[in-house]
Amino acid sequence: QVQLVESGGGLVQAGGSLRLSCAASGRTFSSYHMGWFRQAPGKEREFVAAISWSGGGRYYTDSVKGRFTISRDNAKNTVYLQMNSLQPEDTAVYYCAADIPPRSSWPYEYDYWGQGTQVTVSS
């Protein structure tokens, strides 16, 4: 059983920055692929970013490339999403997810999900 808890969401103005955190349970966090997704009102869940267990693989959806950065700190069992140059269209509930062993090949297949954190960007 893996528990994921997101934090760091809030209200920011367009052009601002926010850093989301996802704290995971388990002593084998370093073996998980991790991802971030978001869901805006009336829309389906959308992939945002992912990072491999080793940190060597990082993936982003086109709309956030150059603005968002995913990273991880295995000592803290935490994955981060640094969001810069935020735009109103980034407004959504952001979820983190874990792909635990046996790990999938890309695209990852996630086994556990957090409950989400709200990000609202005003214009």
Q: pLDDT, tens digit, for every residue of 7-66? A: 999 999 999 999 999 999 978 999 999 999 999 999 999 999 999 999 999 999 999 999
How high is the pLDDT of residue 9?
98
Whole-number CA gyration radius for the chain = 14
Burial of 119: CB neighbours in 10 Å, binned 0-12, 13-18, 19+: buried
The answer to whether 21 and 80 have CB atoms below 8 angstroms apart is: yes
For the segment 64-74, what is each residue's pLDDT rounded down to a tens digit?
Answer: 999 999 999 99
- Measured between alpha carbons, how far is residue 32 from residues 36, 73, 100 in Å? 13, 12, 5
